[in-house]
Structure 1
């Protein structure tokens, strides 16, 4: 009681001075203001941002209407400043785990930086080298590579010379990559030595038009075992070729705003990947909208890059950072923090060294951070745990009111330091972020978390929450580059709430040109009577009274049970991820059955502790397959479901525990950690039959 009394007393004494000095009242008014309204007065919209209501923003980069002009302008403004940074690997060693598995651990050095001027030189030489190897304007160059500086250098080289860039996720699979390379008819491919050996070697004989493969690593790659007529080059040798005066001085065909900039391949629902065609003006418009929601973006910012660059969120974030003079430090999910899997104990992860101010993350990663911190809290002494809980609850209450609790921020110093201690904004995209995780990040990392909503087909642009918005569970108002319309959806009528609801359609100059093969273009894209392009997202949304959007369902994720009830699988999964025993979950149902089942990747530490309490011993696999542990997890899931007020028919009746985590490498989740439902269904078909009373 005395601690709570002291906190209240401190609040009373400090509140008024802090309130006026920090401008908290103004921020609260900003949070509650009307952010978007219907252009027609109809409930379904279209809804447009009130800050740019008269017309949609086509471009906002001082007349720079193509990506090469954006980069040239950035070089003029920020020439000697740091642009792209990479850490050297000082040493590597294999570490044997208790399970007998070998984990490779690394010690990394400081960041080494390329300035804007140095990057400009490399971009010129590499683009010139590609042209010298026969690459023609308006013909595609493919990139299949990890997130690293060479990816962005390749992209800028292609933008400058009007070579459309074809991108692939590293987890698409060999058949999908071969399909995309053949569909776009590429003759030049940029990759890494590792991906060349492990993912591409078996594919290359089936790509008849491919003539040149360029690897971006320093080490030499053996050319044995590759098809005759295919040339393998290092990026350095291509640069040296491009630096020759006769090549460097060749005239360049510059792109036009309507020229193709990127063909971005995403996983297709039919099994074949879909290549989204993005022109220069689409990307300019999309980035205009995104950057308007990031206040103060500029040369003082440092962005940490670790998400896949073949994902539209990461690609547009990095191009925007380069355009505004920010530093980009490259990382990976395995080296992000001091505790990351590849960082040798006692050495520094990338966040600690880089100290970023800006960071993008997918909800899966934020959920992991949340569970890891809370797990450490449980191991604290009684006094430490009490202090943390008091500070957490007090600050949480203040944040919900639209205020802050500076006194409690010292309580979170170790959490802040895990991300470098300088973060001012985190942006979440790729999937819905649970309100609990969003609040946790607000409290423990002392920075706003913006949720974004967009798709590859809209250049990643759609909505982003404003920094001042204190609400949770929503994705914000339309960006200034687009508008949002809700289309009636017959199957959703029974669930219709008082707020406007329907399938989300996004329209504006950021809407792309369709799919490379033209498959599904008529179903997914259309042009209205004013000539504006629209994309039908397949997501079901609700518009709140202030014009902000909330995504509540996915058409494909909605299943009608035998008795006629609709179950939104994504909603069930988002709710049940709050269970401490769950690291990941996939809900499953089909219309021939009357109940929902689930597959769960359990939290190893929590489940092992629970097994010991129940007297169950054995390997991790044996614990996961024990029927009593299945029952225990199911019991906890039901408790969480009841507390969160899921309907009875939404709660899973049976569960299968998976001892193996779902990673992009397993093919069961995308690079953005979205569930691949068809792949999960195939993988667990035997268990589906078992849980539904089959063989």
Structure 2
């Protein structure tokens, strides 16, 4: 993506001349002093190679599997041992931080809706030693309450310090931790709790009142609920046999117990550490069984790929800890001595929805150096900044475009632009605190335009990672020196990846110029399978003749000559139209999602139809401006239900540059505008903001029939 420069040609000529002179004068000393030569060399290196010359041969990282021995700590083969070692090594250093709430107030919006706004104070920190002591006491208290080793215990809670303390307690005392997303519906919650047969549940006051109260009677084996905040008297539960405790009371109970620091059955590497219920994008969530050795392999592979990771780093945690990306990232931080400051999507930045105007968001206060994200959040930041740039005056817009295009040209060659960073992009960089050095994106493919934008405007390395719950979130991560876009990097040292032919989609390991096929991941990070689902485990997992486990991902990938992987399709997202053309729904969505007019989009196609349709969540601001230009008045909901506006949006989509990346048959021919955004709370997207296609299809069934002419 290039931004348009709007200044007078003569002024532009002189600015370009000055830039050229500056570049020429500073290039030689800068080239040698900045390490650009080393970065360029590293970027061009081969990162992974096939094991042999046979088609479909697994690709391995060139660093080799043996290097993992030195990544973490010798002899630490379970998660409790890793934390114990880290506690000794980083004893008095800060580990977990939470901001205090100074005040809360209700703010009435112009449309009459009420938003809760907060003013937050400083971060309060617990050291490694303090967190270890809290976890040991809490685990001991759970044992006193009757929790048995190798018996499941559930956590259903927002991302916060207490979540990690509870998890470490469970790792110490060998209580398999069942994780559930805080946005799951009642049926899914009851399913997870009943299937895992938990007797003890850790949750928060808010989730107790909003989600759990309605399903408690459907979970007969549940005996104890532990609240991380609030008081038992605030729960107002119906008369049941469940006893409610506070986390502080359970800790105090454990501190007096004779079992403190003495688990009855110490965990072994093959014991289950976590049963992680997926976000359920394709129906009822499945529980993935993850052993201690699986998680250790995954986090060791991640540590090897992130350069200079250590005590000087601060990580901001705001994604759901029930998601494997966030849990793995935080365990990496614990193992390497990084501190973790907690946040939420509603308080992340100064402009976030719950932050009172004029006060600081969490990123401004914490100033993190490391951050994980999902494409949906990055896309929102990207569109927000672009909207702000478009509202600038002509000179400011042109200056920003000039700097943007100059830096894009420089970083494509591996060069940095310190002057542009300091003068032009400083304000944008400060949105995330100003010190971010690595921003890792996972959960779904990130569009090249958004990735390059984050590279340029946030002045940091933006890497993509690829992994699944079934592989502990580990698979690939792009290297810091790799400034290419659209790729997810080379296999981590903990695993190897091969491609399997998919005849129906026309992908083969023998394809030229690069091999293509279904991505199959093998290694010690591949998990034990699905809980109480032998048939599904046998369908998706395979153990080869050497005893190595493999997982069939359903994603279609392509290996580049340097060993880096690109996700190009997904088996479940591929639809064959009536005339025989194959349409990748994910490809259509990725191409159109970066339009400023579109906040979110779901493409849909029936195999008995000849064209694609789409459900679109429009940008409110852009839609209102479009309606104004066309002389149409109304509320957002009225505009979304207006056929004229619907057709105008479709016309803009078809004529946009984004559509140039699509074949004619791939461009949606009809659309339905949605006034309500899709959030995890609506049940139409997962916690990682992946589309729930089944739920979206049900939600828009009447519109599907209308757009296909059946109504």
What interval of TM-score do these two structures reach, taking the shorter chain for normalisation? over 0.9
Tell me, yes or no, if structure 1 residue 449 matches structure 2 residue 449. Answer: no
Tell me, yes or no, if structure 1 residue 514 matches structure 2 residue 529. Answer: yes
The equivalent of 2:283 in structure 1 is 271
Q: 1:17-71 deviations in whole A, cap 9, x for unaligned?
A: 1110011111111111111111022242200001106798797432211000010
The equivalent of 2:4 in structure 1 is none
CA positional deviation for 1:579: 1.4
Write out aligned runs for 1:627-666 (5 A): 627-640=643-656, 644-666=660-682
Tell me, yes or no, if structure 1 residue 503 matches structure 2 residue 518. Answer: yes
Task: Say which SS state the counterpart of residue 529 (structure 2) adopts.
Answer: coil
Tell me, yes or no, if structure 1 residue 335 matches structure 2 residue 355. Answer: no
Residue 208 of structure 2 contacts residue 235 of structure 2 at CA under 8 Å; is this kept in 1?
A: no
Q: Cα 1:504–1:648, aligned 2, differ >3 Å: closer, same or farther?
A: same
Residue 310 of structure 2 contacts residue 338 of structure 2 at CA under 8 Å; is this kept in 1?
A: yes
Match of 2:50 among 25, 28, 38: 38
CA positional deviation for 1:494: 7.0
Length-normalised TM-score, structure 1: 0.98
The equivalent of 2:211 in structure 1 is 199
Separation of aligned partners in 1, 2:233 and 2:203 = 12
User: Alignment length, in residue pairs?
Assistant: 695
The equivalent of 1:479 in structure 2 is 492
Gap runs ≥5 in structure 2: 1-12
The equivalent of 1:537 in structure 2 is 553
Task: Say which SS state the counterpart of residue 635 (structure 1) adopts.
Answer: helix
Tell me, yes or no, if structure 1 residue 575 matches structure 2 residue 591. Answer: yes
Residue 507 of structure 2 contacts residue 516 of structure 2 at CA under 8 Å; is this kept in 1?
A: no
The equivalent of 1:215 in structure 2 is 227
Match of 2:441 among 428, 433, 439: 428
Separation of aligned partners in 2, 1:556 and 1:349 = 39
CA positional deviation for 1:222: 3.1
Q: Cα 1:455–1:195, aligned 2, differ >3 Å: closer, same or farther?
A: same
The equivalent of 2:268 in structure 1 is 256
CA positional deviation for 1:405: 1.2
Residue 56 of structure 1 contacts residue 508 of structure 1 at CA under 8 Å; is this kept in 2?
A: no
Separation of aligned partners in 2, 1:461 and 1:221 = 42
40-49 or 490-499, larger mean C-alpha shift: 490-499
Q: Cα 1:666–1:58, aligned 2, differ >3 Å: closer, same or farther?
A: farther
Residue 241 of structure 1 contacts residue 247 of structure 1 at CA under 8 Å; is this kept in 2?
A: no
Task: Say which SS state the counterpart of residue 248 (structure 1) adopts.
Answer: coil
Task: Say which SS state the counterpart of residue 602 (structure 2) adopts.
Answer: strand
Q: Cα 1:28–1:221, aligned 2, differ >3 Å: closer, same or farther?
A: farther
640-649 or 67-76, larger mean C-alpha shift: 640-649
Task: Say which SS state the counterpart of residue 575 (structure 2) adopts.
Answer: strand
The equivalent of 1:375 in structure 2 is 387
Q: 1:607-635 deviations in whole A, cap 9, x for unaligned?
A: 10111111111111111111121112111
Residue 58 of structure 1 contacts residue 285 of structure 1 at CA under 8 Å; is this kept in 2?
A: no
Length-normalised TM-score, structure 2: 0.96
CA positional deviation for 1:118: 1.1
Separation of aligned partners in 2, 1:666 and 1:643 = 29
Q: 1:666-689 deviations in whole A, cap 9, x for unaligned?
A: 000000000000000000001111
Residue 281 of structure 2 contacts residue 693 of structure 2 at CA under 8 Å; is this kept in 1?
A: no
Task: Say which SS state the counterpart of residue 493 (structure 1) adopts.
Answer: coil
Separation of aligned partners in 2, 1:293 and 1:265 = 27
Q: 1:98-137 deviations in whole A, cap 9, x for unaligned?
A: 1100000000010000111111111111001000000000
Separation of aligned partners in 2, 1:63 and 1:549 = 33
Write out aligned runs for 1:343-382 (5 A): 343-382=355-394
The equivalent of 2:82 in structure 1 is 70
Separation of aligned partners in 2, 1:484 and 1:339 = 41
RMSD: 1.5
Separation of aligned partners in 2, 1:53 and 1:259 = 23
Q: Cα 1:252–1:39, aligned 2, differ >3 Å: closer, same or farther?
A: same
Residue 501 of structure 2 contacts residue 507 of structure 2 at CA under 8 Å; is this kept in 1?
A: no
CA positional deviation for 1:146: 0.1
Q: Cα 1:431–1:500, aligned 2, differ >3 Å: closer, same or farther?
A: same
Write out aligned runs for 1:42-53 (5 A): 42-52=54-64
Residue 465 of structure 1 contacts residue 474 of structure 1 at CA under 8 Å; is this kept in 2?
A: yes
Task: Say which SS state the counterpart of residue 73 (structure 2) adopts.
Answer: coil
Separation of aligned partners in 2, 1:273 and 1:423 = 34
Q: Cα 1:58–1:685, aligned 2, differ >3 Å: closer, same or farther?
A: farther
Residue 83 of structure 1 contacts residue 327 of structure 1 at CA under 8 Å; is this kept in 2?
A: yes
The equivalent of 1:241 in structure 2 is 253
Write out aligned runs for 1:141-180 (5 A): 141-180=153-192
Residue 316 of structure 2 contacts residue 340 of structure 2 at CA under 8 Å; is this kept in 1?
A: yes
Write out aligned runs for 1:180-199 (5 A): 180-199=192-211
Q: 1:321-346 deviations in whole A, cap 9, x for unaligned?
A: 01111110000000000000000001
Residue 279 of structure 2 contacts residue 687 of structure 2 at CA under 8 Å; is this kept in 1?
A: no
CA positional deviation for 1:477: 0.5
The equivalent of 1:25 in structure 2 is 37
Q: 1:623-672 deviations in whole A, cap 9, x for unaligned?
A: 11111211121112112366533111111101111000000000000000
Gap runs ≥5 in structure 1: none
The equivalent of 1:668 in structure 2 is 684
Q: Cα 1:689–1:223, aligned 2, differ >3 Å: closer, same or farther?
A: closer
Tell me, yes or no, if structure 1 residue 288 matches structure 2 residue 300. Answer: yes
Task: Say which SS state the counterpart of residue 536 (structure 1) adopts.
Answer: strand
Tell me, yes or no, if structure 1 residue 588 matches structure 2 residue 604. Answer: yes
Tell me, yes or no, if structure 1 residue 606 matches structure 2 residue 618. Answer: no
Residue 500 of structure 1 contacts residue 542 of structure 1 at CA under 8 Å; is this kept in 2?
A: yes
Write out aligned runs for 1:92-111 (5 A): 92-111=104-123
Separation of aligned partners in 2, 1:590 and 1:335 = 40
The equivalent of 2:571 in structure 1 is 555
Separation of aligned partners in 2, 1:385 and 1:669 = 35
Separation of aligned partners in 1, 2:658 and 2:325 = 35
